[in-house]
Amino acid sequence: MGWWGDNVPEETLSRDEATRVIRRLMRMLRPWRVLIAAATLVLMAQAAALLSGPLLVQHGIDDGLPGKKHPHGSAAVLNRTVLVYLGVALLGFVLGRLAIILVARVGEGFLKQLRNHLFGHMLSLSLDYFETEKTGKIVARMTSDIDAMQELVSQGLVLFVQNAFVFVGAVLVVLIVSWQLALGILVIVPPVYFGSRWFRRVSNKAYLEVRDRISTNLSTLQESLEGVRVVQAFGREDAFTRKFEVTNEDQYHANMHTVRISSKYFPIIEYAGVFGTAVIIGYGGWLTTKGIVTVGTVAAFVLWLNSLFEPINQLSQLYNTVQSSAAALAKIFGVLDTRPTVRQRQAAVDLPRSGTVDVQDVTFAYGANEPVLHDISLHIADGERLALVGPTGAGKSTLAKLIARFYDPVEGSVEVGGVDLRNAEFVSLRRRVIVVPQEGFLFAGTLRDNVRVGRPEASDAEVEEALRALGLLERFAAFPEGLDTEVRERGSRLSAGERQLVSLARAALADPSVLILDEATSNLDPGTEHAVERALEQLMEGRTTIVVAHRLSTAARADRIGVVFDGRLAELGSHDDLVAAGGHYAELYRAWATHQAAPEVA
């Protein structure tokens, strides 16, 4: 049984691509070559055991039972044959068990390694990769693509190899036992083969259609559920039900199309089987009278017939699973072939403690696009607070990202503590320069685990110390399970403000010299807003801080303000200087100040 539609590959690989994928797969499988060889031998032996059954039936009938050869038969020969048969059957059973375990060890071991390898590689990629690829797609490489192969490995692989061996073995054995009768039944193989090919082609197309219809139907359904309030508010329930009926019936008809196809195919397969039996009986019977084969051979052929047909049937079903896996593997290789754009150099040096930042003549573009930053130079003294302001898309966030070396500048350089970031050793870079995102991001785990992200090797005491330094220890210790509270569990959902606090504590634990803050655009709950401000103040104390400011009130508190306009550093100076200078900043500030002062009725 099988629905045949489970694994219809969306895209199939060309022959060349498939060859490349297989070659590479072979290389990756090298560590398992001993196990693979063992599994192959076991599977071959199992096929031999399976195919020798009919041979023993033949021997038992011809040499043990009364017939033309031995008019009285021989109980001894019969008993001996039966005993050997029993032994062979049990051997086949043991080999079958062994094969499943061996193949699972190879396949699952490979998948485990692939998961780890692929994930490690993904994390080594630079930020540009994550910004150009959609999250859903990246995640799919690690989930649905590997899961597609998981299915092949756990269910299909053994069957695939087993059936291939059985088929080849069956062809050989019937040819050896009686090539005349073999040719008679092999005549039936081509129609079955071509029938299977036709079926696969037609049904794949039909199943792709089914998949389309299902997704259309599901999106209509989803829309009707998400929009149910609007539908009811406008009294359009009937119209919407009718709309769904159309897509629902479409799905039904697409499914029925596949039913019609398989209702044609399966009779052909079944009939071929019966026809084969008839050929063996009729043609084999005629050969018997000619003395070319024996009655036992006829009986054995009837049994071998199953070993000839079943593999073709099974293999054509597995074909789709194999194709999907190959396509998935090709996509995974695509990721593995992507190289990180930001890399650590060979002779990288540790960043010093100093928090001076020098941006020198930096020009930057995303990929091959137009530059978003032009020729920016900026010196930030150790311990200084600089706010970056400017309209959306002006480049202030990009500038901040360059200082954290999420990207490398196209021209010019960024130095921290006098070291060009391109020469910095990664671990020290991630310790010295820390970015605090707009929204506190939490990992699954406890509060403690989440703070420890700042410095994974920190002790419990150090984690608590970091929290205490920001005045947060009491607050989090008061949670139901204190710092061991699971943050993602139901009921202990942290508010946006609390998440932000965890994020700040994380930064405090990392103890950076340069802190880059992306100010939150949305308001925090009033209960935590104050705590966040206090913690921030503590965190910034004694560190170079660069704030990507969204509020002018924040900017006004900084030592200096950089106004980024159209990819250039348009103005730089203290709040008072800039207001007095009467440029962009002064304009923004005036508009904001009037708005603040009087929310007048228009």
Partner 1 sequence: MGDEAEHKRERAAEREAAKQEEAQTRKRGWRLMRSAVRAHPQLMILGVGAGLVWATARVAVPLLAGEAIDHGIAVDRTGITFALTGAIIAVGAVQAVGTGLRRYAAFGLAWRVETDIRMRLVAHLQRLHFAFHDQAQTGQLMAYANTDIQQINNVVLLIPLTIASTIQMVAVVVILVLRSPGLALFALGLLPLLNFSATRFNHRMYPIGMQLQKELSDVSGVVEESITGVRVVKGFGVERMQRARLATEADSVYDRSIDQARLRSNFMPLIDLLPALGLVGILWYGGHQVLAGNLSVGDIVAANLYVVMLIWPLRMIGMLVGQLPRSAAAAGRIDSILATDPAIEDVAGAHPLPDGPGSVRFERVTFGYGRGPAVLDGLDLTIEGGEAVALVGATASGKTTVARLIPRFYDVHAGHVRIDGADVRDARLSEVRRAVGLVFEDTFLFSDSVRNNIAFADPEAPNEAVVRAARLAGADEFIRDLPEGYDSIIGEHGYSLSGGQRQRIAIARAVLADPRVLILDDATSSVDPSKEHEIRAALAEVMRGRTTIIIAHRPATIALADRVVLLDGGKVVADGTHERLLTTSPRYREVLARAALESQPGAVDDEELLDAPGVGD
Q: How many residues bind partner 1 (CB under 8 A)?
A: 158
Q: In 291-425, which ranges are continuous DSSP H helix? A: 295-336, 396-403
Q: Is 511 in the site for partner 1 (CB under 8 A)?
A: no
Report the nearest approach of partner 1 to the CB of residue 185 (Å): 13
Tokens of 188: 């039936």
Residues 63-82 that bind partner 1 (CB under 8 A): 64-67, 73, 75, 78-79, 81-82
Range in contact with partner 1 (rule: CB under 8 A) among 278-286, 353-361, 377-385, 478-486 = 278-286
Report the nearest approach of partner 1 to the CB of residue 232 (Å): 7
Q: Is 191 in the site for partner 1 (CB under 8 A)?
A: no
User: Using only C-alpha atoms, what is the Rg of the chain?
Assistant: 36
Contact track, partner 1, 542-571, x by CB under 8 A: ------x-xx--------------------
Range in contact with partner 1 (rule: CB under 8 A) among 175-183, 269-277, 345-353, 462-470 = 269-277
Which of 21/57 has CB closer to partner 1? 57
The C-alpha torsion from 115 through 116 and 121 to 122, rounded to 10°, is: 60
Residue from 38, 138, 186, 496 that binds partner 1 (CB under 8 A)? Answer: 138
Residues 342, 356: contact at Cβ < 8 Å? no
Written as one letter, the residue type at 447 is L
Residue from 61, 170, 185, 327 that binds partner 1 (CB under 8 A)? Answer: 61
Distances (CA, A) of 362 to 263, 341, 345: 68, 17, 20
What's the rounded Cα separation, in Å, for the pair 511 and 233?
A: 55
Distances (CA, A) of 342 to 355, 426, 570: 22, 10, 28
Residues 33-52 that bind partner 1 (CB under 8 A): 50
- DSSP per-residue codes, 482-526: GGG-BSSSTT-PPPHHHHHHHHHHHHHHH--SEEEEE--SSPPPH
Which of 57/578 has CB closer to partner 1? 57
Residues 355-374 that bind partner 1 (CB under 8 A): none
- DSSP per-residue codes, 173-235: HHHHH-HHHHHHHHTTHHHHHHHHHHHHHHHHHHHHHHHHHHHHHHHHHHHHHHTHHHHHHTT
Report the nearest approach of partner 1 to the CB of residue 14 (Å): 29
What's the rounded Cα separation, in Å, for the pair 9 and 204?
A: 8
Tokens of 198: 């036709």
Q: Is 441 in the site for partner 1 (CB under 8 A)?
A: yes
Report the nearest approach of partner 1 to the CB of residue 12 (Å): 25
Residues 573, 560: contact at Cβ < 8 Å? yes
Q: Is 435 in the site for partner 1 (CB under 8 A)?
A: yes
Report the nearest approach of partner 1 to the CB of residue 74 (Å): 8
Which of 13/77 has CB closer to partner 1? 77
Q: Is 248 in the site for partner 1 (CB under 8 A)?
A: yes
What's the rounded Cα separation, in Å, for the pair 256 and 390?
A: 60
Residues 311-340 that bind partner 1 (CB under 8 A): none
Residue from 268, 322, 477, 496 that binds partner 1 (CB under 8 A)? Answer: 268
Residues 481-500 that bind partner 1 (CB under 8 A): none
Provide the 8-state DSSP code for 11: S
Q: Is 194 in the site for partner 1 (CB under 8 A)?
A: no
Which of 19/489 has CB closer to partner 1? 489
